[in-house]
Structure formats: structure tokens, C-alpha cells
């Protein structure tokens, strides 16, 4: 009887162990985190978690900052939406691809460009690794290349809605001979339309919320591209009411600021289609433009809050990485104009925020970083293999362990062979003809005094020169910026042939 009992016990143990091994074999691995990818057009660092300029009211940006990590010194790889977004989505620098201007979404990757012909765009990399991908709004320059997303909600054309009667700036830079040749901007400001539901961004957020309420059988990558705060600076009146005109500050401005700028820098800053600070001061419009920009920021903040509410109320709240970024900064009178389009601090610096599993909460990092790092950072946070063609570096170790803070730097390129480097509290700019600018932000945060010839900084300048891109590709054939005289001339000179400027009324650049 004892032998029978022992035999029975052994059989039971054997069966139990087999079942246990089978359970181990069939046990599902923890699911990959989802990704909520949010782009905000033309957003500078005035939001309340970073500088809070002129009492900016952006409580939902604060909320996102409390959820994760805010980079207060992040820089774009081009101070213009098209090449900036192409760089982020390809993981390649503009100096590598030659994409220095606006390139149709479907022409970024093609046989004619050896750097991009086989590139895998960021959303595609996630799809290739088992993700369901979705996107809506302005994510690439216009919306997205065909077939990049499994689901694409598209994008409303332009940057409306527009009132029937508008004031649109119609200036033409410093040269009378350029009048009418390079088009005009869509720069305008005022309270319009009547309510938020008429804004394209509101509809994009509705689409995003509906996707967050769905069930998925795989992790998802969900992209949302806001159109505001891009001009025209139109949002409903209630957002203007949050920023009374008599409380508005204007940013620092020096009338003779550009006296020590090299000729190429002046040419780049000659923007026929943008208002000048001198004009805004003389007409009393400066505070009104700043008010409108702050109103647009508060509106985007409201829409961001709707998205964060939907995420928090969804089943994905604890397993979703959120990244929010902008394609460049925006000058609101600094250096003489209202535009991005420069290698100075206010044009290259933009918000970058991450939140999600295994990231610190409420942390701020002041070291220089690059938007180029978004691609590799999202891959590491998601547990995906690194993409060997990424030229940016992951920020995960910096966020989690403060690694690399001392050696951090950021490079911005504007046209062929024009570069800026930000590191250790300094900015170094070198133009295609070798002319230079150098600023010590410790003593000159507004970049008013070009110290390039000051022997005190010679060693620092030489050090920073060593980080200039070694590769400077010619302009990509499909990449153009025909609304700026310097870039029209540079492409024609470097690539050969002629590029005819295009006269466009209400050009949204």
C-alpha cells in the first residue's frame, strides 16, 4: 500500500511540474508601452513649466511636467518646420540629408536622396515592431507621407479658420527690389472664431480621444499634431481675456542689436514676409501680438488637458509614454522680427517633455538636448531594439540617472553649412563663409554682444568648432524655401541652375 501511495505521489508531482513548465512557456510577456506623440507647431519656451513669460497660463503643460521630465534647454535641428520635422522623423541631421527647406511629405524618402531612400520613419519603426500606428494633424510638414500610419485622420488644409476680413502683414524686408517677389506671410492676430469647436485642433483632439477609448490587441503609437500656435494667431475671445493687454510684457529688444552680425546672418534674418519689431513698436501692435501668442498657448493648453484627461480615464493610463515637443522656437520681437528662421537661441529652443513608466516625476533638466533624440529615446523607453541609423542619442540615462549632463550639446543647421552649437552655457554660430558669432549666456542671455573675436573665448570657440557636422550635403532637389531670398540664392549657387521664387498670397511659412 505504501508503494502504491508513493507511486501515486510521484505521478502527481510529475504532472504538476509539467503543467507548471507549460504555464511558464505560455505565459505572456509584459505588454510593450503605448506611445502618445504630441507635436505643437511654433511653440517657444514661454509655457509656465519653463519660463512662464508674461504670466503665461498653461496649467496642463504644468500637469504634464509634474507627470514626467521637462527639458528646458532642448533645441531643434533646423529652425523651420519642414526640415525640423523631417530630421526628427528620419532620425537624421539636415546636414546629412540635405533637407534644409520645405519638402513634400511623400518626397522625403525617395531614390533620389541617398541618405533617405531606405530610411524607416519613426512611426514605421514602431509598426515594424508590432505596434498599431495612428496619427492626425501636422506631424510631418503637412500631415504625413502616404501609408506611414495604419490609421491617418488627415489634416485640415491651412491654418484657419479665417475671418472674412483680415489684416495680413505685407512687408518686404530691407530691399525694395524684392517687393512682391517672395509672397507674404499668414501673420495676423485677433479673436476668432466664436468657440473652440470651430478650431481644427479641437476636431483633432476629438479624434485622438476616440482612439484612446478603443480597445487594441497590440500596443499603439498615437500621434497628434497641433496647428496652433502657428500664425495666424486666432483663437476665441475667452483666451484673450485671460491675458489683459495692460498686463502684457514684451521680450527684451535692442534696436542696434544686429550691428555686430556677419553678412550671412543678416541675409538669413532679412524676412520680407514677417513684421519687424520696429514697425510693431511704432504702431503699438507689439503687446497685441504677444497677447495673441499667449492666448494661442492657453488654447493649446486647454486641448492638451482634454487629451490628458482622456488618457487618465482610459485603461492605458499606467502603460503609456507621452512625449510632447515643438518643431522650433518663435521670436516675438527678439532680434528685430516676429519669426523663427534663425540660428539664435529664441528660434532654436523649444519645449520637450517625456512622461511614462520608469521615468522620474516633476524633474527638470537644463542641459542642452536635441529633438533628434526623440526617436532613439522612444525606442529605448519602449524596449525596442535601437535603430542603427539614428544620429541622435537616447535621453533615457540622462532622465533616469543624470548621465551625460556635463558633455551635453545641441546642434542646429539652417541651410547648407550654417550651424549653431549650444553647450556649457555658450552658443557658437558658424556661417558658410566661415564668419562667426559667439555668445556667453552667463553674462549675455539675450545674445546682444557677439564675442567671436574676444580672445578670452578663443579656447572655448575652438572646442565648439570641433563639434561642427563633418558632412554637409548639397540641397536635396525636392527641398526648397522660396519665401526667403538667401535660401533661394544659396540653393541655386550650390546645386546649379535657377530656382524661381514663388509669389504666394497668405503663404503659411
Q: Which of 81, 230, 296, 419 is catalytic?
A: 81
> Of 146, 122, 147, 151, which is closest to residue 134 (Cα–Cα)?
151
Residue with cell 519660463: 51
Q: Which of 75, 132, 141, 341 is catalytic?
A: 141
Is 141 noted as a catalytic residue in this protein? yes
- Whether the Cβ atoms of residue 309 and residue 22 lie closer than 8 Å to each other: no
* 82 CB-contact burial (10 Å; exposed 0-12 / middle 13-18 / buried 19+): buried
Full 3-state SS string of 240-268:
HHCCCHHHCCCCCCCCCHHHHCCHHHHHH
What is the spatial distance between Cα 341 and Cα 351, in angstroms, rounded to a whole number? 17
| DSSP per position, 461-484 | HHHHHTTS-S--PPPPTT-B-TTS
Helix%, strand%, coil% for the chain, nearest 5: 35, 15, 50
- Whether the Cβ atoms of residue 501 and residue 507 lie closer than 8 Å to each other: no
- Whether the Cβ atoms of residue 143 and residue 152 lie closer than 8 Å to each other: yes
C-alpha cell at 478: 525636392
Peptide bond into 232 cis (omega under 30): yes
Is 18 noted as a catalytic residue in this protein? no
Catalogue the active-site residues. Answer: 81, 141
Amino acid at each position: 500500500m505504501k508503494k502504491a501511495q508513493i507511486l501515486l505521489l510521484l505521478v502527481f508531482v510529475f504532472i504538476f511540474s509539467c503543467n507548471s513548465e507549460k504555464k511558464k512557456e505560455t505565459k505572456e510577456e509584459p505588454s510593450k508601452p503605448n506611445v502618445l506623440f504630441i507635436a505643437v507647431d511654433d511653440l517657444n519656451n514661454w509655457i509656465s513649466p519653463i519660463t512662464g513669460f508674461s504670466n503665461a497660463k498653461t496649467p496642463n503643460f504644468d500637469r504634464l511636467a509634474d507627470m514626467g521630465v521637462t527639458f528646458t534647454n532642448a533645441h531643434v535641428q533646423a529652425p523651420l518646420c519642414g526640415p525640423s520635422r523631417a530630421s526628427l522623423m528620419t532620425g537624421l541631421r539636415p546636414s546629412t540629408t540635405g533637407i534644409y527647406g520645405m519638402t513634400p511629405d511623400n518626397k522625403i524618402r525617395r531614390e533620389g536622396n541617398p541618405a533617405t531612400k531606405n530610411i524607416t520613419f519613426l512611426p514605421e519603426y514602431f509598426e515594424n515592431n508590432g505596434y498599431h500606428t495612428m496619427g492626425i494633424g501636422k506631424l510631418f510638414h503637412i500631415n504625413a507621407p502616404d501609408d506611414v500610419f495604419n490609421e491617418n485622420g488627415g489634416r485640415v488644409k491651412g491654418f484657419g479658420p479665417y475671418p472674412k476680413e483680415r489684416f495680413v502683414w505685407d512687408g518686404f524686408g530691407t530691399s525694395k527690389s524684392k517687393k512682391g517677389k517672395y509672397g507674404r506671410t499668414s501673420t495676423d492676430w485677433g479673436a476668432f472664431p466664436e468657440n473652440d469647436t470651430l478650431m481644427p485642433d479641437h476636431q483633432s483632439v476629438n479624434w485622438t480621444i476616440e482612439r484612446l477609448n478603443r480597445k487594441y490587441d497590440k500596443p499603439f503609437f498615437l500621434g497628434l499634431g497641433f496647428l496652433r500656435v502657428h500664425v495666424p494667431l486666432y483663437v476665441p475671445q475667452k483666451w484673450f481675456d485671460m491675458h489683459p493687454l495692460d498686463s502684457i510684457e514684451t521680450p527684451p529688444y535692442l534696436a542696434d542689436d544686429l550691428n555686430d552680425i556677419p553678412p550671412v546672418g543678416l541675409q538669413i534674418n532679412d524676412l520680407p514676409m514677417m513684421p519687424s519689431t520696429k514697425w510693431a513698436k511704432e504702431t503699438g501692435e507689439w503687446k497685441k501680438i504677444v497677447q495673441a501668442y499667449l492666448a494661442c498657448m492657453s488654447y493649446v493648453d486647454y486641448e492638451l488637458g482634454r487629451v490628458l484627461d482622456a488618457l487618465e480615464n482610459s485603461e492605458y493610463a499606467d502603460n503609456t509614454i507621452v512625449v510632447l515637443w515643438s518643431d522650433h522656437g518663435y521670436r516675438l520681437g527678439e532680434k528685430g522680427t516676429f519669426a523663427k528662421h534663425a540660428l539664435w537661441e529664441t528660434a532654436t529652443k523649444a519645449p520637450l517633455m517625456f512622461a511614462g513608466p520608469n521615468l522620474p516625476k516633476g524633474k527638470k533638466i537644463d542641459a542642452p538636448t536635441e529633438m533628434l533624440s526623440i526617436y532613439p529615446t522612444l525606442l529605448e523607453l519602449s524596449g525596442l531594439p535601437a535603430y542603427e541609423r539614428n544620429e541622435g542619442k537616447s535621453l533615457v540615462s540622462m532622465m533616469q540617472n543624470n548621465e551625460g549632463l556635463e558633455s551635453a550639446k545641441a546642434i542646429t543647421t539652417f541651410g547648407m553649412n550654417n550651424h549653431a552649437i549650444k553647450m556649457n552655457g555658450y552658443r557658437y554660430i558658424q556661417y558658410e563663409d566661415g564668419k562667426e558669432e559667439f555668445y556667453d549666456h552667463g553674462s549675455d542671455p539675450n545674445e546682444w554682444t557677439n564675442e567671436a573675436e574676444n580672445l578670452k573665448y578663443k579656447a572655448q570657440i575652438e572646442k565648439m568648432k570641433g563639434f561642427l557636422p563633418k558632412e554637409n550635403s548639397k540641397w536635396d532637389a525636392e527641398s526648397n524655401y522660396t519665401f526667403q531670398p538667401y535660401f533661394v540664392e544659396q540653393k541655386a549657387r550650390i546645386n546649379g541652375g535657377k530656382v524661381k521664387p514663388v509669389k504666394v498670397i497668405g503663404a503659411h511659412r
